[in-house]
Each structure stands twice: as C-alpha cells, then as structure tokens.
Structure 1
Amino acid sequence: MSDAKNSFGRRGFLGVTAAMAANLPGIPAAAASNPRPRGDVALRWWGNNSWELRLPGGKVVLIDPWLTRFKTGTYTKEGADPNTRIEVNRKLLDGLVDSGELRADHILVTHGHYDHISDVPHLAARTGATVIGTETHLSLLAALGAPEDQLALATGGEFHTFDGYSIRVLRSLHSASGDRAKIAFPGTRPLSRRDRPRVISDLLEGGTLAYQVESESGFAVLNFGGSNYVEGELAGLRPDVLLLPAGGDRVEEYVPRLLRTLGFPPYVVPTHWDDFDFPLDEPAKDWGGLAKLRDAVAGASPGSAFRVVDHREVFAP
C-alpha cells in the first residue's frame, strides 16, 4: 500500500459489465427487464463508500474518499477499537494525485466517521477541491488541516449548479443498531472548535447527508453513506444510479421502501460492502452484507439491475 505505483499499477480505468459483476463469488446480478438509460457519468469505486464520479467536460466529484484504509478491526467480532490512531498514507495519495489518476473539483462528505473523512483534508489540499459537509464535518476537517477557504457548509436542502453538473444535498440518517438504536461515535462539534482528532472515536458522525449528482443531460447518481434515509427528502427524485450501502438493521424492510420512494432506479450499485482491513489493491472482500442487500433489491425491484463493482473498477452505464 505504501508504493502507489506498485500497488495500483495492475488495474486500468475499466468498465464493469454485467457478466463481470456476476462472476464475483455468490453475487449474480439481478435480472433486469426495463430499458436502461444511456449515461454520461462514469463511476469508479475506491472501496468502502469512496466513489469517483467522472462527468462530461472532465469534471470530477469524489464522495467520501478514504484510500488509506488503516486497520481498525471494524468487521471482527470485537469491532473497531475506538483508540485506533488516525493515519493518512500521504505517499499513496500524493502518488495518485501527482500521476493525474486522482483529482477532484468537489469532495462530498456524507458523515464524519473515520472511514469516510480521514483522507479528505489531505486530498482537498492537494486537489484544490471544494468540500461540502455539515458544521461538524467542517470542524473536524479544519482541525485535521484542510484549507478552510475550500470548506462549504451544508445542512441538507441545498441545490448547487456548476459548469455541466449539479449537486443536490439531502438530509439523511446514519444506520443505527441494536435494541437502543445506537450510532457509532455519535455527537457534534461547533465550527469554531479546533482541537485535533487523534483517534477514530474523535471523528464524530456529526449528522449524515446524502447527495445526488446530476450531469447537464439529466443523468443522476444518488449516494447514501449510511444505511438509512429521510423519506421526505427524496420526494420526486428519480436517480438513474443508486449507490446503496450494505448493512443496517432490517434491510429487508427499508430497502423496498427506499426503492419504491425513488421509483425503482434502473441501476442499484452496492457500496460500503467490503472489509476495509484488507488492501485496496486486492479484490474486495465481502464483510457479510452483500448477498442480503442483493436479495432485498431483487425481491423489491426485479427490474433494477444490480451491479457489483470491484476495487478501482468503473461502472459506466
């Protein structure tokens, strides 16, 4: 992982076909019966909920870019150690930016947890991207060294238009688990706070956002960083691609409701399904939620094509 050229030189910017998705062990693509829209947005998966959206005109939007993937034990029986030190693999990130393989005009933060935000300050500084997030997210980012003039505050409800694309910010929810519906590392912090986070429990959830990125042609990609949503925020949205996280309680109930609310999107692409204790330059390892998500989508919306993308591969509808 420390040598960017060696670690990432084996894969190009590839398109993922239905056959490739179906060849991943135990994960066949769901049968699709509806005509598919012709897209002009290419999506590359960098693991977890890290997505690169390449738009017409050369514009690039990153969502929750986290490539360092320091070990936490999140998907072990014991779970993540809250005292795990935050790490940033600057050599890896700099190699990707310097080579031109990774760049960004915008970086969208769904929430403040370590597996979503840790690399953002360094990537923002290197790419010059505008970063969108809540007050807590921006407080954490600034404390971690992100350029403050590149931080844009959002609360949900914003609709921003740029050269050739738009970003719609939606209030959303993080998944909660257990009888007491708990969220990992909950809490908020004001924008004025500047004490530097040191361990992963310092990176608070801080409110969760979802984002819809739409090209000028109208092709829309909707991303959720947590396995939950606010139904009222989604009224009237009809994304072409839904990036849907694995996990969360009662997937068999909330997934059908979500798909119905969104008008049964033509494409559903799973996200946040790999065990990130394993390297990004190896095939993704399912932590155990992928098949359940696939089954929920297939049962609720058989006309939606379920596409599984491996690490650093591209889905181009």
Structure 2
Amino acid sequence: MVKVKFLGHAAFLIEGSKKILIDPFLSDNPQAAVKPEEVEADLILVTHAHGDHVGDAVEIAKRTGAKIVAMFDVANYIAQKAEGVEVIGMNYGPTEVDGVGIVQVPAWHSSSDGVHSIGNPCGYIVKLDGKTIYHAGDTFVFLDMGLFSELYGPIDVALLPIGGHFTMGPREAAKAVELLKPKKVVPMHYNTWPPISADPEEFKRLVGDKAEVVILKPGEELEL
C-alpha cells in the first residue's frame, strides 16, 4: 500500500517501502500539518529553488540521513548548505534512486533564491511499489503533459497547483487533468496566502468526470 499525505502548500509525504518527501516547506508554512522534526524520510525531492519549496530539506536530511534529489544546478546550490548530506543532481529524464523510479519532468515557472536565478523548475513522476504519482511542482499547463501518461502512465494520482498568480488556477489545472489522464487528482498550492486564494470545489466541478478529485486538508492522506 502507498499513502500520499498532504503536509500543506506543496509539501507531500509518499509512504510505501520508502518514505519520499517532496518540497518540505514546513517551518514558515501557515498551513503546515507537522513540524520538520516530526518528519521521517529516505528521499527528499525538491522541484525548484524558491524558499517555499526547498523549505526545510537540508535540516530534515541532516537529521534523517535522507538523500536530496533536485535539478543539477539547484542540487549544487543546496549542497553548499548541506555538508554531510548526499545531494543528487539530475536533469529532465528518468533515473532510479534506492529502488525508487524518478522521472524529472519540465515545469513552466522560475527558480531562484529570490535574487539570482538557479537552474530550472521541474516536476516529478515517482514510481513506488507499483504506483505512479505525479507532483507537478509550480507550473502552468502545457501540452507536453500529455506525454507524461503516454510514457510513464497510467498515473494513479496527480498533485496539481490550483492557486493561480504564480501557477495554474482551477481552469488551467482542469485542462492539465484532461492531458494527464490520472485516476485521481489532489489540488495543492492554494490558500496559503491571499495571492493564491482558490476554491478547490470549483476545480472539482471543472474536472467533472475526467478524474476523481480528492481534496485533502493538511495532515490528511490518500491511500492508493
């Protein structure tokens, strides 16, 4: 059994034979369901260099011994602050880390420390214990999303931003569902702060019967 737990904003914990933490922004996250010291992980995946996605990755990795995976340039940026932590840099394409299938896929966004551009943003397709999970990172919708299910699907659950302003809003995310063809979809990256206010029920209505929309509150989980 694989469980996908929403930790708030864009942070998720995927639990199966391995524990995979994605974008662990917890300390300064007003939505956070847990504290950084309460999380265990084997792998930490970071989608881009913005602070609300790198979050507490280094601190959690130092405590748990987790490996951090990120875009090559972002990995080098993180490694400068992560002495003693194994940081794996990659680029768009597939790999395997400790038995976990990982595909780094494009995202339409930016990636910086707030001042300097650092690498490119990405999303991840994770294959664990026979299940396929897509975390889009921060992105707008784009037609190449249709390749993800064709190449790596079927996608059991897609984790998609719906907050607008920095990412897709509900309308664009519903189009992404049409392209991705996931079995289930969980909205994320909304209502953390006023600029990304969005109604997940509107998203659910727009998706209709294209997929099962599961609206998780921070701390809730989905079993696959």
Same fold per TM (> 0.5)? yes
| Number of residue equivalences | 214
- Displacement of 1:289 after TM fit? 1.4
Q: 1:152 aligns with which of 57, 77, 88?
A: 88
- Displacement of 1:286 after TM fit? 10
Quote the residue 1:248 is aligned against.
164
- Displacement of 1:298 after TM fit? 3.0
Q: 3-state DSSP class of the match of 1:173?
A: coil
Matched, 1:116 2:53: yes
Change (3 A) 1:142 1:122: same
Matched, 1:214 2:127: yes
- Displacement of 1:297 after TM fit? 4.6
TM-score with structure 2 setting the length: 0.82
Q: 2:20 aligns with which of 61, 75, 97?
A: 61
Q: CA RMSD in A?
A: 2.7
Output the CA distance in 2 between the equivalents of 1:245 and 1:227.
Answer: 7
1:217-249: CA deviations, max 9, x gaps?
2x2111011132553365113311110111236
Change (3 A) 1:286 1:113: closer
Change (3 A) 1:171 1:70: closer
Query: Map of 1:1-317 to 2, 5 A cutoff?
Result: 40-55=1-16, 57=17, 59-69=18-28, 92-94=35-37, 96=38, 102-143=39-80, 145-147=81-83, 150-160=86-96, 162-163=98-99, 165-174=100-109, 187=112, 201-202=114-115, 204=117, 206-217=119-130, 219-232=131-144, 234-235=146-147, 236=150, 237-248=153-164, 251=169, 254-263=172-181, 265-275=182-192, 287-291=196-200, 294-317=201-224
Which structure carries more relative contact order (alpha carbon 8 Å, separation 6+)? 1
- Displacement of 1:120 after TM fit? 0.9
The amino acid of 1:151's aligned partner reads: V
Change (3 A) 1:252 1:43: closer
Quote the residue 1:36 is aligned against.
none
The amino acid of 1:168's aligned partner reads: V
Change (3 A) 1:157 1:297: farther
Change (3 A) 1:203 1:127: farther
Output the CA distance in 1 between the equivalents of 2:218 and 2:192.
Answer: 12
Output the CA distance in 2 between the equivalents of 1:268 and 1:108.
Answer: 19
1:186-213: CA deviations, max 9, x gaps?
55xxxxxxxxxxxx62475631111111
Which has the larger strand fraction? 2
Output the CA distance in 1 between the equivalents of 2:169 and 2:118.
Answer: 21
Change (3 A) 1:134 1:303: closer
Give percent identity, aligned residues only: 22
* Contact kept in structure 1, 2:163 and 2:191, CA below 8 Å: no
Output the CA distance in 2 between the equivalents of 1:297 and 1:69.
Answer: 28
> Which structure is larger by alpha-carbon Rg, 1 or 2?
1
* Contact kept in structure 1, 2:68 and 2:86, CA below 8 Å: yes
* Contact kept in structure 1, 2:96 and 2:102, CA below 8 Å: yes
Output the CA distance in 2 between the equivalents of 1:161 and 1:201.
Answer: 30
Change (3 A) 1:161 1:234: farther
* Contact kept in structure 1, 2:189 and 2:196, CA below 8 Å: no
